[in-house]
A = this chain, B = another copy of it.
Amino acid sequence: MSPTRNAAVLFNEIPNDFPVPGKTTKYDESSTIDLDNVSLGEDGVLVKTVALSIDPYLRSKMRAADIESYQPPYLLGKPLNSLGVGRVVRSQNPKFKAGERVYGLFEHQEYNIFDKDSFLQALPETPLSSATLVGAAGMPGGTAYIGYKEYAQAEKGKTIFISTGAGAVGSVVGQLAKLDGLKVIGSAGSDEKVEYMKSLGFDVAFNYKKTDTLEVLKKEGPIDIYWENVGGATLDAAIETLKKDGIIIVCGQITAYNGGDGYNYKNLWQIFARSIHIHGFLYFDLMPKWIEQFSKEFLPLIEKGIIKHKEEVVHGLDKVGDAILRVQKGENKAKSVVLVADDKDSH
């Protein structure tokens, strides 16, 4: 068979501020791959990319390669990568069969070869779309589930505040809390997102650009649990309205990803005065402990529609740069997914 195009999105330049499509990242169609003859190596698996997850944390990988951080950096001139779902084209690894869907860390190319050290998991047969499998049923939903289960000490009657409550993670946290009988307060940056949170059953939902977070929390709090996603003034307001022995679960700080000079926190000393406990965690560290319960308890909630979710799907690998920027600016209306190939197409 003649070579097939293997387009990619390359990391082109380290951004100082927001990542600019075409500058920070470049879509490139110059590579090809011979799907029938390319060598897979021992245990190699050739996978056609179907859906790529576009998440806030990708910005933290767009840095100089010598700066250490929790995520390996993107390398200049090489493809970006993120979690994704694909379909196996050919496999030398007995754990994966041609035609099956898989979940893994995908380079942003139309085709990838995964070796035995790559992060790649077979997906069970499920009616869920590949977009959902990288969203509510994938890392974002999983992040929500395991962070909440591990740290929230949720109990009926408690109050939780969730920043970015309309996001892929926050929206799931809020719904889990409602199922447990908590009072749920969520913030987001647009009226549309506020409506979405209300449709999910949040007790209080507000647009932080129009309403002062501290005022809302003073009125609707005090809070027992703060699900932290943004940092800055929101974190400071949450600390001010946390109850004694309050809990903060830190799942990200989007205000810190795009440069900036830190934030002038006024309330950090309350951490000891109120006996506050703060827990940072990463999905890949905690998931092994929770994977069985996640599959048994959580995935059925998604399949049955008890936990609701939404994806903002754009089509085409060339849209990755735009999708990343939308997420960094908070303009995406739902979990951002780039669909690279037809979800039903097996080859």
Chain A residues in the interface with B (C-beta under 8 A): 60, 69-71, 228, 231, 235, 244-245, 250-253, 255-257, 261-282, 285
- Would you list 21 pairs from A and B whose C-beta atoms are within 8 A, ordered by A residue? A70-B244, A70-B273, A70-B274, A228-B272, A235-B268, A245-B285, A253-B269, A253-B272, A256-B268, A261-B264, A262-B268, A263-B264, A265-B265, A271-B280, A272-B280, A272-B282, A275-B282, A277-B277, A277-B278, A277-B279, A278-B278
The 10 residue pairs across chains A and B that have the minimum distance between CB atoms: A256-B269, A262-B266, A253-B269, A70-B273, A278-B278, A272-B280, A271-B280, A250-B272, A264-B264, A262-B264
A280 in complex: contacting residue of B261, B262, B263, B277, CB < 8 Å: B277
Contact A272/B285 with A264-B263, A266-B261 known, Cβ cut-off 8 Å: no
Q: How far apart sit A339 and B156, CA to CA, in the bound complex (Å)?
A: 50
Q: Are A272 and B268 closer than 8 Å at their CB atoms?
A: no
Chain B residues lying within 8 Å of A269, measured Cβ to Cβ, are 231, 253, 255-257
A346 to chain B, nearest CB (A): 38
> Which residue from chain B places its CB closest to the CB of A70 in the assembled complex?
B273
Of B228, B252, B262, which contacts A265 at CB under 8 A? B262
Residue of B whose beta carbon sits closest to that of A245: B285
Contacts of A257 in B (CB 8 A): 269
Asked whether, in the complex, the Cβ of B263 is within 8 Å of the Cβ of A274, the reply is: no
Would A280 and B285 count as touching, CB distance under 8 A? no
> Contacting A231 at CB < 8 Å: which of B268, B277, B281?
B268
Complex alpha-carbon distance, A256 and B255, angstroms: 24
**Cα distance A265–B327 when bound, in Å?**
24
Q: Which residue of B lies closest to A268 (CB)?
A: B231
Question: Residues of B contacting A274 with CB < 8 Å?
Answer: 70, 280
**B262 in contact with A272 (CB, 8 Å):** no
A231 neighbours in B (Cβ, 8 Å)? 268-269
Q: Which residues of B contact A244 (CB under 8 A)?
A: 70
- Beyond the given A250-B272, A253-B271, A273-B282, please list 11 additional residue pairs across the A-B interface where CB-CB is below 8 A: A231-B268, A253-B272, A261-B266, A262-B266, A262-B267, A263-B264, A263-B265, A264-B265, A273-B280, A277-B277, A277-B279
Q: Is there an interface contact between B265 and A268, defined as CB atoms closer than 8 Å? A: yes
Contact between chains at A252 and B272 (CB < 8 Å):
yes
The chain B residue with its CB closest to the CB of A257 is: B269
Q: Roughly how many angstroms separate A267 CA and B281 CA in the complex, as a whole number?
A: 16
CB distance from A273 to the nearest CB of B (A): 4
CA distance A60 to B282 in the complex (A): 36
B residues near A253, Cβ cutoff 8 Å: 268-269, 271-272
